[in-house]
Amino acid sequence: MAKVGIFCGTAGGTSMKVAKALVKEFDIDEDDVINMEEDFDDIEQFEDFDILFIGSSTWGQGDVHFSWVDVLLELEDEKPDFSGKTVAFFGAGDSVKHGEHFCSALGKLCDTFSDLGANVVGFVDKEGYSYEHSLAEKDGKLCGLAIDEHNEKGKTKERINNWIESLRTQIPA
């Protein structure tokens, strides 16, 4: 059976809300949920898992949560081989106040992990989202689950549920 790990950088708790839904729906051990700020030690932790759920809120000009900054630099420097790993991305953003960078952290994470050979799943139709620009948009879809608790809180539960159902068909058993 595939081993699943969740790596999540969160400030306001929205990304962790998605992580908790993943834990419940995929029966993931709580010890396999890595809060990037508190529990992450080094990039070798990724090696323990076949499936990675990667979460981050988006900050400033489309940046990843600060707990991901050094990790991404280390991944780009060390270039570990992620071929054989399945990865799905999720995160939070503000489509009104930061509509020009809505959930762009997901795009940056996606670029890094896919460049390292990961099989990226969990793309979401951008229909129903409203934003100016996002680095998370790849070939007309968002490269993961984008949540906007500031302006579209009423859509969060349905978006999480729909994403999880789609993941069930895309990740190896």
CA distance 101 to 120: 21
The pLDDT tens digits of the residues spanning 3-14 come to 999 999 988 889
Q: What is the pLDDT of residue 11?
A: 83
User: 23 with 33: CB under 8 angstroms?
Assistant: yes
Q: Provide the whole-model pTM.
A: 0.96
Output the CATH code of domain 4-168: 3.40.50.360
Q: What is the pLDDT of residue 13?
A: 87
User: 68 with 111: CB under 8 angstroms?
Assistant: no
Alpha helices by DSSP H, listed for 5-65, are 14-26
Could you tell me the residue ranges of all domains in the chain?
4-168
The Cβ-side half-sphere exposure at 94, using a 13 Å CA radius, reads 9
User: Mean pLDDT, consecutive 10-residue segments, the chain of 173 residues?
Assistant: 93 90 94 96 96 95 95 97 97 93 97 98 96 96 97 96 96 76
